[in-house]
Chain A
Amino acid sequence: METVKKEKKDRVLSIRNLNISFKTAYGVVKAIRGVRLDLFKGETIAIVGESGSGKSVTVKTILGILDSNGIIDDGSIIFNYTDENGEKQSVDLVQMSQKEIRYQFCGKRIAMVFQDPMTSLDPTMTVGKQIMQPMIYHLNLSKKEAKLKAIELLDEVGIDQPEKRFKQYPHELSGGMRQRVVIAIALSCNPEILICDEPTTALDVTIQAKILELIKSIQKKNNISVIYITHDLGVVAKVADYVAVMYAGRIIEKGNINEIFYDPRHPYTWGLLSSMPDTDTKSRRLFTIPGSPPNLLEKIKGDAFAVRNPYALNIDFKEEPPMYDVGGQHRVASWLCDPRAPKAEIPVDLKERIEKMKKEATVYE
């Protein structure tokens, strides 16, 4: 299934058959069910899904900050990196203890930008000190060196008067500025992977666009791989090369950005794309996906989306669909892609919208 083009690229992270469950007072919650994902050097992947679909849990496992009641039942996360001596290393993060991951990788080779910049910064510490910290800890820089680098970083993330800002506290900065500081901290140790967990949900649209453009330019410059977690398809369209749609702990559709946006195959993806308000549509009602996500405390029989799916087949209630290869990098977990299945037509409204999007796109190509 690997194409020639893909093999040329360096694989940074490969998640295979990941299964995670949480022990709670009400029973065991199967939060992640058989996730398989690859991340290549310099590429951006976006994980899309509703809250509770397991997107945050997946990346938390990579960082070794899974909650203490979480258990990794099965699977592997292979992380390939170049160590200080320039040699290629490969480790399985699942086999390591959380402490080891935190000492060796967290913040150093894998960095994260959290959703809310107000809660992810320490209010009692100056901004500069917080940027210096990971460099002193991970890279053994002296305070002086770290300070110079920190001011450089502040400049790089587009904060004017970096010397002045260096001495300020988080509450003195605006939301957009704070998020820039968080990005500076994440970049301080030259990570290979940057994970952005809804980096712009707490920000305004105008600032959101600026932050996304900043992350994009830095990514290009340092050739880092980025994982975005978001439910905003507009953000996905702007940044991602590759998209994975998650539902109830499973990846139900993945492919490169054009495959997902211009040729979606899974009914859930149809629903997601249709429910996004389009500034040009005239219709008075927004499309909604009926019902709500399943309770993962109960064992899911068949396809988890079947009960909300108007296109559900009989088999959807009995057996879980396998991943179908529908060409290119596009994989879909839906029985509708089986050659024996009746042909399901994509909703008319969405079809029209995609046609229009394609037409708009030709202008830019």
Chain B
Amino acid sequence: MSEIKQPLLRVENLKQYFRVSKSFTTKAVDGISFEIYEGETYGLVGESGSGKSTTGRSIIRLYNPTAGKIIFDGVDISGKLTKEAEKHLRTNMQMIFQDPMACLNPRKKVKEIIAQGLLIHHKFETKEQLNDKVNRILDKVGLSAEQATRFPHQFSGGQRQRIGIARALVMNPKLVIADECISALDVSIQAQVVNLMRDIQDELGTTYLFIAHDLSMVKYISDRIGVMHLGHIVETGTTDEIFQNPIHPYTKALLSAIPHPNPVVEKARIALTYDKEKEGVDYVSAVQHKITDTHFVLATDEDFKNWYK
């Protein structure tokens, strides 16, 4: 173990473009950099279309990144993957998807769904060991072994999301990418799932990349937060820094839009608007400005002077 905190995942200047037609290319992710350290939870927030899900998918290589570097656990996983790198990536990084109704194969039993990763990568020696692994992970996510022989449609939304989490965790991954994994659930079930993810982190030391647009939940689970807008990370910092001292106007607008369960306050409050065009904020020529060791904001020199007084 080294003494300096080593980042588990380092993303450098990642770009993900989609060519729509000859003359038009969508720049979904346009040069972002961030680091995730071992055992922490990094929250990625932003509105839909900001590129936060694309970032997650590029990191786990569901897309081929256009440019940039992704270093995961000391192995470069950008560009063309070697066999070893691919194996390393597939066994050590897992994803939890948004829609628990759509991400489970309806024709397979829960046991088969969870065991699939182990089967593919031969992560067991005997059949008993495989069963044991599946049962243990089911127990961890709060499902009984007897439920493992059922099909996904026999479960409720919250239970299905637990199956999705079990499937990701059975590989004992170092990094789990949770892509909007709670937004399809009821509020009371959301709390259950978030608590479960936390318990597992405390026990196994799993690292999370938590992608969401619900800032109040992100605040609960994240150690550090990156705010994305139109393919750029406009502000990044620890949870306290982002919530106590937001610098970028987009972050401020996002924070002002969080609904508070307090009727008198909520009725009097009007959310801030942020229009990039109107305010003339330039992302392309902007650079990262340092506020503290962990708090950075993307701005041109002039904007930065105006925002940060």
Contact = CB atoms under 8 A, between A and B. Distances in A.
B224 to A, nearest CB: 16
Interface in A234-288: 234-238, 240, 257-258, 261, 271-273, 275-279, 284-288
Interface string B174-213: 0000000000001111111011001000000000000001
Nearest to A363: B265
A50 interface: yes
Interface in B223-273: 243, 253-254, 256-268, 270-271, 273
Interface residues of A, number: 45
A190 interface: no
Nearest to B267: A238
B226 to A, nearest CB: 16
Counting chain B CB atoms within 10 Å of each CB, the highest count among A51, A286, A288 belongs to A286
Interface residues of B, number: 43
B259 A288 contact: no
Contact of A361 (B187, B191, B265, B273): B265
B262 to A, nearest CB: 4
A357 B265 contact: yes
B248 to A, nearest CB: 14
Contact of B262 (A206, A231, A275, A361): A361
A364 B264 contact: yes
Nearest to B48: A204
A272 B262 contact: no
Contact of A231 (B47, B187, B191, B271): B187
Given A237-B266, A272-B188, A286 B194 contact: yes
A288 B270 contact: no
B295 to A, nearest CB: 18
Contacts of B216: 234, 276-279
A175 interface: yes
Nearest to A276: B261
Given A51-B157, A286-B220, A364-B265, A213 B271 contact: yes
B271 A210 contact: yes
A109 B187 CA distance: 32
B164 to A, nearest CB: 17
A237 B262 contact: yes
A285 B220 CA distance: 8
Q: Which of B195, B260, B261 has the most CB of A within 10 A?
A: B261
A357 B264 CA distance: 9
A272 B261 CA distance: 11
A235 B262 CA distance: 10
Given A207-B47, A277-B219, A279-B216, A50 B186 contact: yes
A237 B273 CA distance: 20
B187 A276 contact: yes
B186 A231 contact: yes
B7 to A, nearest CB: 24
B6 interface: no
A232 interface: yes
A360 interface: yes
Given A206-B257, A213-B271, A289 B188 contact: yes
B215 interface: yes
Contact of A51 (B186, B195, B213, B265): B186
| From A204, A210, A271, residue with most partner B Cβ within 10 Å | A204
A365 B264 contact: yes
A133 interface: no
A363 B265 CA distance: 8
Contacts of B258: 205, 234, 279
A273 B198 CA distance: 21
A234 B186 contact: no
A206 B243 contact: no
A173 interface: no
Interface in A207-232: 207-210, 213, 231-232
| Closest 9 A/B residue pairs (Cβ) | A234-B259, A209-B271, A361-B264, A286-B191, A237-B266, A204-B47, A275-B191, A277-B216, A205-B257
17 contacts: A50-B189, A204-B213, A206-B47, A207-B47, A213-B271, A234-B258, A234-B259, A234-B261, A237-B262, A238-B259, A238-B266, A276-B261, A277-B191, A278-B261, A286-B195, A357-B265, A364-B264
Interface of B: 47-49, 156-158, 186-192, 194-195, 198, 213-217, 219-220, 243, 253-254, 256-268, 270-271, 273-274
Given A174-B49, A231-B187, 16 more contacts: A205-B213, A206-B271, A207-B47, A210-B271, A210-B273, A237-B267, A238-B259, A276-B187, A277-B216, A278-B261, A285-B198, A286-B194, A288-B191, A288-B192, A289-B188, A361-B264
